[in-house]
Structure 1
C-alpha cells in the first residue's frame, strides 16, 4: 500500500491553469494529469510541474477519468478539474472521512465566488441533483471534487466515458448504499484562457442537462 494519495486531473487545453493548480497540491498528494488531446502544450507544462502525465486519445471526461483511475496506485484517489476553479487545498477535508471510514465517497459541494458559476450551469446542476435526491442519492451538486477508495471505485464499474461519468458514479454509489458525505468547497472563476467544455454556453448546458436526464430514464 502506498503512503501517498493520487489526484486525477482530466486535462484538455489547461496549460494556462496547470502551474497554479499543481502548486496547490497538499504535501503527500500526487498529481496524475490525464491529457485528453490538448493542443496548447498542457502535457509538457504538467510534466515540468512534477505531475505524472498520461495521454488518453479517446475524447471524453469519463475516458480521461477512467484512465487516471487505472494508473493510480494509492488506496485513496481524488478527482479534480484542472482549470483553476477548485482549491486543491480542500482535498484533505474530503479525504478525512474516507480515510476514517466515516464515508465511502466524499464530494465537494460548490459554494461559488462571484463570477465563478454561470446561472445556466448552476441551474442545470440543480436540476440533476434534484433528480438524484428523488432516487435516494443525498447530494446537491454533481461534484467535480471527489475522494474515495480506489478499489471501491473500480468495483462500481462506471461505464460512461463522456461528461455523464460523475452522474453515473453517483447513481451507482447510491445503488450500492455508499455513505456519501458532501463538504462545502470554494468554487472560483476559471483561470484566464480556459473555458468549460460543457457549461460554457447556455446551449451547451441545456443540451448536456437534457441528455443526462434522458440517460437517467
Structure 2
C-alpha cells in the first residue's frame, strides 16, 4: 500500500468528523433567533414621539421572556447606595415593571404589546428632549442565542424639522417580521410565474408555426436542395 493511500485511509474518519462538525455549526447558526436593531441613527426633533426599532429574526414569541431597554452609556447615580440597575423600560412576567424605571422616562415609554408575539420589541418614547439623545440597548437576557442584544442610537436635534412622519416611517408594522399568512409576496410570485408562462407559450407557438411553414414548403417543393444526377 502506498503512503498516499495510507494517509487517505487513516484520515477518512477525521474528514468525516470535520464535515459533520461544520454542518452542525452551520445548522446551529441558521437556527438561531437574533436580536436586530437599527444600523442608522433615529433622528427626531424635541417634542416628537419616536420609535426605537428592535426585533427578533426569525419570528419569535417573546411574551414569556424579559425585555430590557437601557442606556449603556448612562453613569450610575452616586446617591443610590443600593446601586440598583434602572431601566428606560423593563418588561417582565408579561407586564411592565415601572418601579425599576429611570424617573425621567416614567409614563413616557411603551412596548407594542400585541406585537411581542411576532418578536417586535421596539420601544416607543413620548415627547423626547435633547437629554434623551444617546445609545439605547434592547436586551433579552434569557434568549438562547449568541446575539441577545442590539444598540439603537437616538439623536434629538432642535434643528431637525419636526414632522408627524417620524413615527410613521418607523411603524412597527413595517419592522415586524412578515406574517407567514401574508399573501402579498405570494401574489407577486404568481404574477411573475404567469408572465413566464405567457412568454414560453408565445415562443412555443412561434416555433410551431415556423415548423409547419417549413414542412409545407418541403411538401410543395420536394426536390428543392437535391442536385440532379448527370
Same fold by TM-score greater than 0.5? no
* TM-score, with structure 1 as normaliser: 0.30
- Pair member with larger Rg: 2
* TM-score, with structure 2 as normaliser: 0.29
